[in-house]
A and B are shown apart, each in its own frame.
Chain A
Amino acid sequence: MSNLEVHGVRVAFGELVVLDGVSLEVASGESVALLGPSGSGKSTLLRVIAGIVAPDAGIVVVGGVDVTHVATHRRGVGMVFQDNQLFPHLSTLDNVTFGPKLAGVSKDERNAAGREWLDRVGLTGFDDRDVTGLSGGEAKRVALARTLAADPTVVLLDEPLTGLDRELHDRLAVDLAELLQPVTTLLVTHDPEEAAVVADRTVALADL
Chain B
Amino acid sequence: MALAIFYVWPFTTLLVEALDATAVADTFGRSQTWKVVWFTLWQAVVSTVITIVVGLVPAYLVARFAFTGRSVLIGLLTAAFVLPTVVMGAAFLALLPDSLDRTVWAVIAAHVAFNVAVVVRVVGSLWEHLPTDMEYAAASLGASRWHVVTRVSFPLVRPAIVAATTIVFLFSFTSFGVIRVLGAPGTRTIEVEVWRRATQLGDIGGATVLALLQLTLLAVVLAWSTITQRTHSRALALRPVAPRRRARTRGERWFVGSAATTTALVALVPLSALVVRSFSTPSGWSTNAWTHLGRDEIRPGLRVGVDPVDAIANSLVNAAWATLFAVVFGGVASLAITAAKRHGRLIDSGLMLPLGTSAVTIGLGMLITFDVAPFDWRASWWLVPVGHALVAVPFVVRVCVGVLRSVDPAMTDAAATLGASPVRAWWATVVPYVWRPLGVGAALAAAISLGEFGATSFLSRSGGETLPIAIEQLLGRTGTTLQAQGYVLATMLAAVTVLLVVAVERAQTETDRTPGT
Interface residues of A (CB under 8 A from B): 50-52, 54, 71-73, 75, 77-79, 81, 83, 85, 87-89, 98-99, 102-103, 132, 146-147, 150, 152
Q: Are A103 and B142 in contact (CB under 8 A)?
A: yes
Known: A102-B142, A146-B141, A147-B141. A72 touches B155 (CB 8 A): no
Q: Is the CB of A81 within 8 A of B141?
A: no
Asked whether, in the complex, the Cβ of B141 is within 8 Å of the Cβ of A102, the reply is yes
* Interface pair B133/A85, CB less than 8 Å apart: yes
Pair A87/B235 contact, Cβ less than 8 Å:
no
Which 6 pairs show the lowest CB-CB distances between chains A and B? Answer: A72-B139, A85-B137, A99-B141, A79-B140, A85-B134, A89-B155
Interface 0/1 of B1-20, CB less than 8 Å to A: 00000000000000000000
In the complex the two chains form, is B144's CB within 8 Å of A73's CB?
yes
Known A-B contacts A81-B133, A88-B156; the reply to A50 vs B140 at CB < 8 A is yes
Q: A88-B234, A89-B155, A102-B147 are in contact. Are A79 and B134 (CB under 8 A)?
A: no
Cβ contact within 8 Å between B134 and A99: no
Contacting residue for B140 out of A88, A132, A147, CB 8 A? A147
> Are B142's CB and A54's CB within 8 A?
no
Within B315-362, the residues touching A (CB, 8 Å) are none
Q: A98 is contacted by which of B141, B145, B158 (Cβ under 8 Å)? A: B141
| Separation of A77 and B137 alpha carbons in the complex (Å) | 10
Q: Which residues of B contact A (CB under 8 A)?
A: 131, 133-134, 136-145, 147-148, 151-152, 155-156, 158, 234-236, 248
Return chain A residues, CB-CB under 8 Å to B137. Answer: 79, 81, 85, 87
Nearest chain A CB to B504 CB, angstrom units? 32
Q: Please determine whether A98 and B140 come into contact, CB atoms closer than 8 angstroms.
A: no
State whether A85 touches B144 (Cβ < 8 A). no
In whole angstroms, how far apart are the Cα atoms of A98 and B138 in the complex?
A: 8
**What chain A residues lie within 8 Å of B248 (beta carbons)?**
54
Residues on A with beta carbons closer than 8 Å to the beta carbon of B142: 73, 99, 102-103, 150
Q: Which residues of B contact A146 (CB under 8 A)?
A: 141
Cross-chain contact A77 with B140 (CB below 8 angstroms)? yes
A72 touches B235 (CB 8 A): no
| A72–B156 CB distance below 8 A | no
Bound: A89/B248 CA distance, A:
29
Interface contact A89-B234, CB-CB below 8 Å? yes
How many angstroms from the CA of A54 to the CA of B133 in the assembled complex? 15
CB–CB A73/B234 < 8 A: no
- Report Cα–Cα, A72/B144, bound state, in Å: 8
Q: How far is the CA of A152 from the CA of B139 in the complex (A)?
A: 12
Residue in contact with A73 in the complex, picked from B131, B134, B140, B156, CB distance below 8 Å: B140
Q: Which of B133, B152, B235 has the most CB of A within 10 A?
A: B133
Contacts of A75 in B (CB 8 A): 140
Are A79's CB and B136's CB within 8 A?
A: yes
Assembly CA distance A71 to B236 (angstroms)? 27
Interfacial chain A residues near B158, Cβ < 8 Å: 89
Q: A73-B142, A102-B142 are in contact. Are A87 and B136 (CB under 8 A)?
A: no
